[in-house]
Amino acid sequence: MKKSVRPIFSVVFLAAAAATLCFKIMVSGGGGGLEFGYRSNVLAGRNPSPVFNDTILRFAAVDLGEDSLRQNVEQLVDGDFRSLATGRHRSFLWSGRNRIDIRARSARGVPVQLRSPEFYRLWLNFRRFLQNWWRNHRFQPDVMSDLVNVIKVLKPGLNDTVSKYKTCAVVGNSGILLKTNLGGLIDSHEFVIRLNNARTRGFEPSVGSKTSLSFVNSNILHLCSRREACFCHPYGERVPIMMYMCQMIHFLDYVVCNSSHKAPLLVSDPRFDVLCARIVKYYSVSRFVKQTGKPLDAWAGSHDGTSFHYSSGMQAVMLALGVCDKVSIFGFGKSDSAKHHYHTNQKGELHLHDYEAEYDLYRDLVARPEAVPFVSDKFNFPPVVIHR
């Protein structure tokens, strides 16, 4: 059973805290036993380090959905798909060839029958991936420095001398882009990251057309997996895709779709997911406390505590920090006169994200990256510019 870790997996694990949050059930946060390996408040040499608030650090380090995530992983590893048959998970049942037929379970509620030898092979793969992911789902302040390994996957044929991309553009999907003419500038970057398959066709003057990496959440892949050959390539089938896992069952979509992809299909490093989750929670809680004057415990109630999650854009920006010498951010931010997304008519923001908190983070990335909590001292933040 023991497998060597596939390189793609170890490298690519990008986004998982999401998982945590996709399913959280309210669990009151217990403290205790937290490891704080990140930047200490005493720094030699560099800019004087900002003083982090320890109470908020501790609070941000507790994942309210951890218990339910663990439970879910254990169930799936045991081949028990029953949790998928109820409530809001129903929509995540598969349709098509590799269907999991929940009704097939016996009256005693034993785990579902896996129907075919073909499915069984998928399932073994799924389980191996899931276990591997779960083992790595932990806090690791140095993970930012490991992100550069993603470049090796994206540029195969390189040997050990990996150099970062000179310039990167992370293109958010905010409607504010429509008022700009930044398409050409975006495309002039060496590496362009786009989010959640927002289309570019018809919007090129504002958003550009070049895409080097498509960064998505795993719900997007799940939708793609129902299509012929998992079609998920609005930017062309040679464009690599990276996603964070927001539901553990999406590993099934992953193992199914992986083989049909000509370009790498990557899963974000779960250690990176955990880091992103903590950072965004820290900003969200800090903002909440400052604005409302309420105690920390009130935060979860107003932020979908157990399903609170960072946005795809946030993690894409963090990824760019790890693989680029210079990072430019486009299409982040809102305005009363702009649509939420340039390419859809979605009205409002999702409550499970705290975009205001994420903007606070981006402002720190521009002006004082040392104020970003949880990241190891060893990591050097590249310069960041926000275009609006």
Ligand X SMILES: *[C@@H]1O[C@H](CO)[C@@H](O)[C@H](O)[C@H]1NC(C)=O
Kindly indicate which of the ranges 27-35, 51-59, 175-183, 365-373 contains the residues binding ligand X, using the contact rule CB under 6 A. 51-59
Of 26, 296, 338, 386, the one binding ligand X by CB under 6 A: 296
Establish if 8 lies at the interface with ligand X (CB under 6 A). Answer: yes
Establish if 17 lies at the interface with ligand X (CB under 6 A). Answer: no
Record the tokens describing residue 129, joined without a space: 């991936």
Between 91 and 159, name the residue whose CB sits nearer to ligand X: 159
Minimum separation from the CB atom of position 19 to ligand X (A): 17
Q: Are 243 and 220 in contact (CB under 8 A)?
A: yes
- For the beta sheet containing 191-195, the strands, ordered from the edge strand earlier in sequence to the opposite edge, are 265-267, 241-244, 213-217, 191-195, 168-171, 327-330, 384-387
Cα(376)–Cα(40) distance, rounded to whole angstroms?
9
Look at residues 293, 260, 253, 287 and name the one whose alpha carbon lies nearest to residue 356. 287
Q: Do you know the residue count of the chain? A: 388
Of 14, 19, 56, 171, the one binding ligand X by CB under 6 A: 56
Between 215 and 342, name the residue whose CB sits nearer to ligand X: 215
Minimum separation from the CB atom of position 103 to ligand X (A): 28
Minimum separation from the CB atom of position 156 to ligand X (A): 10
34 contact partners, CB below 8 Å, separation of at least 6: 58, 61, 62
Establish if 131 lies at the interface with ligand X (CB under 6 A). Answer: no
Cα(348)–Cα(7) distance, rounded to whole angstroms?
39
Cα(156)–Cα(302) distance, rounded to whole angstroms?
45
Q: Interface residues for ligand X in 133-192 (CB under 6 A)?
A: 158-159, 161
Establish if 376 lies at the interface with ligand X (CB under 6 A). Answer: no
Establish if 289 lies at the interface with ligand X (CB under 6 A). Answer: yes
Host H or E run for residue 363 = helix 355-367
Each residue 238-277 as x (binds ligand X by CB under 6 A) or -, in order, gives -----------------x--x-------------------
Q: Are 198 and 341 in contact (CB under 8 A)?
A: yes
Look at residues 98, 88, 85, 52 and name the one whose alpha carbon lies nearest to residue 286. 52
Of 41, 47, 55, 335, the one binding ligand X by CB under 6 A: 55
Number of chain residues interacting with ligand X (CB under 6 A)? 14
Residues at the site binding ligand X, with contacts judged by CB under 6 A: 6, 8, 53, 55-56, 125, 129, 158-159, 161, 255, 258, 289, 296
